[in-house]
Structure 1
Amino acid sequence: LNWRLDPELSTGIIGEVGVHQLDTVFWILQERPEAVHGFGQVMLWDDGREVPDTIQAVLRFPGKVHMIYDGTLASSFDGQYDMFYGSDSTIMLRDQKAWMFKEVDAPMLGWEVYARKDKFYTETGIALVANATKLDSLSLSPTDPIPGQETPLWYAMAEFLENNAFGPYPPAANYQVGYEATVAAIKAHEATMQETSITLDDTLYDIG
């Protein structure tokens, strides 16, 4: 039995995987979504499961900002990444790296002249990374791992051990942060299962 396929227990793709993207967006925007509309279907794994293997969810934030989440188990193409679209530039977060793609009429910031540049088809991404000049001398491609950089699990364990030895320190992300992302993910899954819109009232984010 796979509880991830049980509609009574599973929170679907957005609850299993997308909750991390939701948390990232909440942190960057410092806002919580006001509503969510979802779509979902079983596109490939037609084995009797009721939980969709392919979904889309649109979350509406204050200030006319929307987040669009796409997730599928039907194709591995393009992997996992986050895009933040703005009027001056677009930021892409992928794996443990980030790039900025500027609009042609965007004002100069000054530092980007010295930054590492990576080609993405017809676009040029400005690498948002420390020690970019030193990395250039190593002739690394955009997909190569950065020397000396560890995995997220390594950093999490290092922080845990340091806190245990020298703490306690206040958490970088407390229970409220995790709760809010989880609430939004659960409601997004509900919207996906029903293919409808759900308003996310502020009271939903209140633990009480």
Structure 2
Amino acid sequence: MNNQNQSSRRKFLQQIGATSLLAAASPLSSLAAKEKAEERILHYERKISPNDKIRLGVIGFGVQGHFDLREMLRVPGIELAGICDLYTGRLENAKELYGKDLFTTRNYEDILNKSDIDAVLIATTDCWHAHITEAALKKGKAVYIEKPMVKKISEGYGVIETQKKTGKVLQVGSQRVSSITYAKAKELLAAGEIGKLNMVNAVYDRQSSIGAWEYTIAQDASPETLDWNKYAEIVGNVPYDPKKFFWWRAYKEFGTGVAGDLFIHLLSGTHFITNSKGPESIYSSGQLSYWKDGRNMPDVMTGIMQYPDSPEHPAFQLTLQVNFISGTGGQERTQFVGSEGVMVVDGNNLHISHSIMPEAPGFGGYDSVFTFPKQMQEDMTKAYNAKWTDAQKQRPKKPDVNFKAPDGYDEHLDHVTNFFDSVRTGKPVVEDAVFGFRAAVPALSCNESYFQKKIIRWDPVNMKLV
């Protein structure tokens, strides 16, 4: 890299700043007009200090509970004070990981009743999300609730109201909302880098048994080692079935399927980047294509949503896709299509390519003019050339934009750090109950549309089914 480019890079990094991208409260539009051809690799170093000790309780210590807790304990000042799970093997695992003196229980109320716990991570089956969240808030705990915030649309209003009444911190666990890559995408879209947005295509495919939720079932699984009665209590009288405990996402009684697990990520990211309140119509189609293992949720699903023209964004259409037996081997990418280009967000990378229409209208070639009489063709060609210059006939050129987060960047760590910052300082969270609800509704509506075979109508501003 030559000295001029090094100087340019340093200037860029000084302008952008690590902290300015964290919450992306306002678009950094001045940056979008500068140094378009540069491959932007952000030097990211977020200093985290433990201003106050926060004691954490965990409710639900499955796959996501393990991942979330691991990230949370990377934040200085966070102490683990207890873990609840309905399966005794996970409680044994918790003591193996965090010490034999760790408080463990199969009753989530024991966690909520502990006066020395300040905040709780709720990473349970979807059907318990709303119930435990409200109970935790009422007990004075700050809540980090995994996505989707609720299993049923009707539950969202109670969670929002309880959070307002208690005033306790609540953040939903969709980590892309804290991503510096998504913050950059938000900035570039707001600055008009791809022109006027009109379509978003979002894909989250997998191709593995684990990706399809066929998690390993514990050897000792039984009504004695896991509290099935408590687990199924909230959904009614469901006979004991260990698959419905360990593979719960695959069953509509307990989980929300591909829509609640993966559509929700695509929706949260899209809503953050566009500032959207949500779509006004939702339709989905799906099928059980390959994983015919007793599940009653589809393993392939497509959603089509119409977003209205609003103060936040122009009207656009969103397509969502999940394929659990995809020959691609699996992929996650969201493509924002505008009138002047395409922005693709792929993990921690962002790429923009441009295609801008010429100022002059089309004429000739695959056009009707050659079907006219010869003299008319000559006259019209002469008139066209007299009106438009060669420059006006050409498509304007604009260099690509590439943005990469640094190697090792972890949006998950940023998301949980933002949560604890809010607990300590009282500042607004990056993904509150209203945002979480507005992201959950379109995902949950995809399931409703699939089973009822109809279009779901939604008022995104007033948050009501139409």
Q: TM-score, normalised by structure 1?
A: 0.73
CA offset at residue 88 of structure 1?
A: 0.2
Partner of 2:351: 99
Matches within 5 A, 1:34-113: 34-63=280-309, 64-75=315-326, 77-103=329-355, 105=357, 112=399
Please say which structure displays the higher CA radius of gyration: 2
Residue 32 (structure 1) aligned to one of 254, 278, 282: 278
CA distance 1:158–1:20, change in 2 (3 Å):
same
CA offset at residue 201 of structure 1?
A: 3.3
- Deviations, residues 180-207 of structure 1 (Å, cap 9, x unaligned): 111121111211233331111358725x
Q: In 1, distance between residues paired with 2:261 and 2:406?
A: 28
- Deviations, residues 162-182 of structure 1 (Å, cap 9, x unaligned): 4455x1211122210001111
CA distance 1:100–1:62, change in 2 (3 Å):
same
Partner of 2:431: 173
Partner of 2:251: 6
CA offset at residue 24 of structure 1?
A: 1.9
Residue 410 (structure 2) aligned to one of 141, 148, 151: 151
Partner of 1:117: none
Q: In 2, distance between residues paired with 1:50 and 1:127?
A: 41
SS of the counterpart of 1:71?
A: strand
Partner of 2:403: 128
Higher helix share: 2
Number of matched pairs: 175
Aligned partner letter, 1:4: R
SS of the counterpart of 1:100?
A: strand
CA distance 1:204–1:49, change in 2 (3 Å):
farther
Q: Is residue 38–residue 193 contact of structure 1 (8 Å, CA) maintained in 2? A: no
Matched, 1:21 2:279: no
Q: Is residue 57–residue 192 contact of structure 1 (8 Å, CA) maintained in 2? A: no
- Deviations, residues 11-41 of structure 1 (Å, cap 9, x unaligned): 2211111112112222233241001111010
Q: Is residue 37–residue 57 contact of structure 1 (8 Å, CA) maintained in 2? A: yes
Partner of 1:135: none
Q: Which runs of 5+ in 2 are unaligned?
A: 1-243, 310-314, 358-394
SS of the counterpart of 2:331?
A: coil
Q: Is residue 252–residue 297 contact of structure 2 (8 Å, CA) maintained in 1? A: yes
- Deviations, residues 44-94 of structure 1 (Å, cap 9, x unaligned): 012232200000010111134110001011125351110111110100001
CA distance 1:78–1:91, change in 2 (3 Å):
farther
Q: Identity across aligned pairs (percent)?
A: 20
SS of the counterpart of 1:55?
A: strand
Q: TM-score, normalised by structure 2?
A: 0.35
Partner of 1:195: 453
